[in-house]
Amino acid sequence: MVNLGLFSGAKRAKSVNVRFRLPYYTQWGQSLVVCGSEPLLGSWNVKKGLLLSPIHQGDQLIWYGSIAVSNGFGCEYNYYVVDDNRDVLRWEKGNRRKLFLPQGLQGGEVVELRDLWQTGADAIPFKLAFKDVVFGRSSTLSIERPLGKFIHNNLNEDADSVLVDFKICCPNIEEDTTVYVIGSSSKLGQWKVQNGIKLSYAGDSIWHGDCILQYTDFPLKYKYCKYGKDGVISSEFGQNRDLLLDASNIPPRHIVLSDGMLRDVPWRGSGVAIPMFSVRSEDDLGVGEFLDLKLLVDWAVESGLHLVQLLPVNDTSVHGMWWDSYPYSSLSVFALHPLYLRVQALSDNIPEDIKLEIQKKKVELDGKDVDYEATMAAKLSLARKIFSREKDSILNSSSFQKYLSENEEWLKPYAAFCFLRDFFETSDHSQWGRFSQFSKDKLEKLISKDSLHYEVICFHYYIQYHLHQQLSEAANYGRKKGVILKGDLPIGVDRNSVDTWVYPTLFRMDTSTGAPPDYFDKNGQNWGFPTYNWEEMSKDNYAWWRARLTQMSNYFTAYRIDHILGFFRIWELPEHAMTGLVGKFRPSIPLSQEELEREGIWDFDRLSRPYIRAELLQDKFGAAWGYIASHFLNEYEKSFYEFKKECDTEKKIASKLKSLVEESQLQNPDQIRRSLFELVQNIVLIRDPENPKSFYPRFNIEDTSSFNDLDGHSKDVLKRLYYDYYFQRQEDLWRKNALKTLPVLLDSSDMLACGEDLGLIPSCVHPVMEELGLIGLRIQRMPNEPNLEFGIPSQYSYMTVCAPSCHDCSTLRAWWEEDEERRGRFMKNVIGSDILSPTQCIPEIAHFILKQHFEAPSMWAIFPLQDLLALKDEYTTRPAKEETINDPTNPKHYWRYRSHVTLESLMKDKELQETIKVLSVESGRSVPDEPKPASTSVNKEKISVATKSNGIPQEETLAVI
């Protein structure tokens, strides 16, 4: 939020004391500093800022500090938490605070700034999603009295009086509503609104007003309330606010009271999630297209939904085949995907023969699923024909020239990369000869107007220009309709991408990223992306990341950070790995050889290489074990084996096995490969390739025979060190790592940020997310609590998005059908029924589960379209398994799910729209273009009951109001 301390000023010769006062709990060794724009406050150098001193007052720790300034002094400032060396540990979020001294001050007077720490959650109402979309369409309030302008400009001669400026933030306020402060003093109406102080609107969602109080009015109790049209009064809930005069200090003559947010029932909304490629309309050509989003926005509005969430829409054209359907493997983090282009919209003058061809392709590609390769080929072929007719007029237009000028930093390398990819028939830029190494000189020659292939380069400009136009049109339409468009920020890029070609030092190309074993896959995941070189990225303050976020904000007002854990630590695998099991965290503190030796562990070769005994081979391969051993292994000691050099990694094993299958028709090759992988993974410690005296415990070591064949002492030691490595020693390191990178991302744009925090969650993650104002994700079947099988939506925290499923797991219907015993437990423990559970997820079951999520305290309830369609029988005729978007256990999954219902059909289904809208309205969630329910009373009991019925804990009303 914006916490301003603004005053109009008049200069005086004598100095004025400005006293900073902030209640804030710190840990041992931490202090608070005020740093600001003027030399007295360090000129934004925190080490030179004003160090505050702590005083305990009751159950609060109050930090104080003073500076003597001349009359008329003004500055910007913020608070920082520092260590003993004054290194910054954290800083408050939101806009910079502003201070100007008021008129009429006498020399020696004290002006006390009573501030509250600004959290990341306080800044949320001022993100684009709310400021410009959800709240932005309400009537604009005119400024009644700017901050710093007082009604009571001068104090009287009474030395026992103080001027108090009350200031509160209220970003979501209805038309014809005013804000009052009332309290125990007669000056504050003695709790009667009509006699209280009516506050003035000062802009930026801030309301303020001042009055002169006597010392006898203290201690003062007060609160804020809203007075709406028709005389409806709505008081903030929770305990009354207190204002005391500190006995240990000289009483101030002026108190600037920055009271943070008005404590109202938190704003809550709902939305729909669907990949762009899964949308179906009557106008699309084989796949959802950006312009379809306008119709999807209309459907969202009619269904009472405030948000449309997509998967990544970046170009993924790496392989030139269906593998490119994987939306998280970006060819470019800036370019949009040609798949989502509407070719009919490229020109107003498309000739009849091309129109007929478009119509023919629409019929051919109107299948149950997306045909990625055929659709891409058709769209690019048609686009080239239109481009050849109008290229001169488009490329010379002022609109195109403006787009090229604003985007040339990424667009020109992208176009050159696409040309070289097609010329060399590979995206592996290491195979491009002299073009393998990127340079600006080579780039300029490649894209030169004099080159023979300049028209090919321009075609890529042309496609991106039109994609930009079409997505911008849809995004602007959503804003006007009050619907947030939420994008997705992938954690990685393809190793054969424009970004790794242009910025090779930003990536560790000999590694791969993934995730350790979790709910999705017991063998972990290997995404194949190179890991980031964060040290190199930090040298220009993460300019590449900042540019990504700036580009996204051209279209989206909210975004999901894919695998937010990657900004704390990433699961790093060697480049030669195929599965995600034998990895380590980067960064992390390894087990040192010295540490292990102190514990009596010394046989490092035994622990860090595959432990393969003859009995294990016989158990895995039966009678064929000798054949397998002869081709893959050497016996280095009687009955002990090791892998041959040519097949001692997962990729080498797969290659060798493939050749054996081709030569000898080997039976069950998939099972043999799994067993060989289990052998190569049968280790206890992973030796660090960069430091042979450092080791990492293999994930789930107790599942290996290598561990189970150890002596008791070694087992006990390694189990303890395993637990320490994965759950204790890294926490502070990971917290600091996240606080280096995430704030840079969050400050790069005004988009609302949500973090995908599923999987193995370190204990440092949620406190950091809370501190930064990041919204987490809750999926009912994947609860954070280890003792729960099913999450309890009514207990979710406000700063979350809740959903019954997501793109990485089966839909609600498919999940219900997968496991009879599990759905029986769900019926009994969640639904509270002992009747036999139906084998199908009938609409009544879907309605119950969706209602749970609508009623949750979460800021957002976002539902996959498939789960919303489960509310009606007529939409459940398609087998549930076919509605799955992704199978995380399959690294080559074909992302091709396409809705079997067109948007036009959904727009006609008023019954479904009304069902969804009623769920939203009755749960207290905001809906577009709907008057909000009127508050009915200032009675705290009634307000408390109302909030409890929505399941919203009173102490969690800190963000959007």
Residue 10 has pLDDT above 70, yes or no: no
As to burial, measured by CB atoms within 10 angstroms (0-12 exposed, 13-18 middle, 19+ buried), residue 592 is: middle
Are 85 and 149 found together in one domain? no
pLDDT in tens, 697-733: 999 999 999 999 999 999 999 999 999 999 999 999 9
Closest by alpha carbon to 698, among 679, 685, 717?
A: 685
Q: In this structure, are 447 and 490 located in the same domain? A: yes
Q: Is residue 542 part of a domain?
A: no
62 and 79 co-located in one domain: yes
Mean pLDDT of 184-209: 93
> What CATH number did the domain enclosing 93 receive?
2.60.40.10
Closest by CA to 306, choosing from 932, 943, 818, 929, is: 929
Q: How many domains does the chain have?
A: 5
- 18 with 100: CB under 8 angstroms? no
Beta bridge partners of 753: 559
CA count, 13 A, side-chain hemisphere, 311: 28
226: in domain: yes
Is residue 100 scored above 90 in pLDDT?
no
Tell me if 783 is assigned to some domain: yes
In a shared domain, residues 404 and 276: yes
Residues 225 and 280 occupy one common structural domain: no
Segment 779-817, tens digit of pLDDT: 999 998 888 999 999 999 999 999 999 999 999 999 999
Report CA-CA distances (Å) from 653 to 609, 616, 620, 627: 16, 18, 16, 15
pLDDT in tens, 241-292: 999 988 777 788 899 999 999 999 899 999 999 999 999 999 999 999 999 9
- Give the range of the structural domain holding residue 600, as residue numbers without chain letter: 575-729
Say yes or no: 324 and 428 in one domain.
yes
From 118, 138, 157, give the residue that closes a domain.
118
In a domain, 948, yes or no: no
**Residue 238: pLDDT above 70?**
yes
Task: Quote the pLDDT of residue 115.
Answer: 96
Report pTM.
Answer: 0.90
The three-state secondary structure class of 172 is coil
Q: In the prediction, which pLDDT does 156 show?
A: 61
- Confidence label for 857 from pLDDT (cuts 50, 70 and 90): very high
Q: What is the pLDDT of residue 367?
A: 95
Residues 895-908 have pLDDT tens digits of: 999 999 999 999 99
CA angle 260, 262, 267 (to 5 degrees): 115
| Residues 175, 233 within the same domain | yes
Residue ending a domain, choose from 72, 103, 118: 118
Q: What is the pLDDT of residue 143?
A: 87
pLDDT of residue 98: 87
Considering the domain architecture, whether residues 462 and 398 belong to the same structural domain is answered as yes
- Residues 124, 99, single domain; the answer is no
Q: Domain end: 220, 238, 263, which one?
A: 263
| pLDDT tens string 601-645 | 999 999 999 999 999 999 999 999 999 999 999 999 999 999 999
Beta bridge partner(s), residue 243: 220
Task: Please report whether residue 955 resides in a domain.
Answer: no
* 583 and 686 both lie in a single domain: yes
The confidence score (pLDDT) of residue 613 equals 95
Which carries the bigger pLDDT value, residue 55 or residue 251? 55
Q: How many CA atoms lie within 13 A of 863 on its CB side?
A: 27
Whether residue 582 sits in one domain with residue 456: no
pLDDT by residue (tens digit) across 636-679?
999 999 999 999 999 999 999 998 888 776 778 889 999 999 99
Predicted local distance difference test score (pLDDT) of residue 139: 52
- pLDDT score of 5: 36
CA 517 – CA 512 distance, rounded (Å): 15
In percent, the amount of the chain with pLDDT more than 90 equals 79
Mean pLDDT of the chain: 91
Residue 130 and residue 67 share a domain: no
pLDDT band at 138 (very low <50, low <70, confident <90, very high): low
Mean pLDDT of 325-344: 97
Residue 51 lies in a domain: yes
The Cα–Cα gap between 947 and 875 comes to 35
pLDDT over 90 at 160, yes or no: no
3-class SS string, 605-652: HHHHCCCEEHHHHHHHHHHHHHHHHHHHEEEEECCEEEECHHHCCHHH
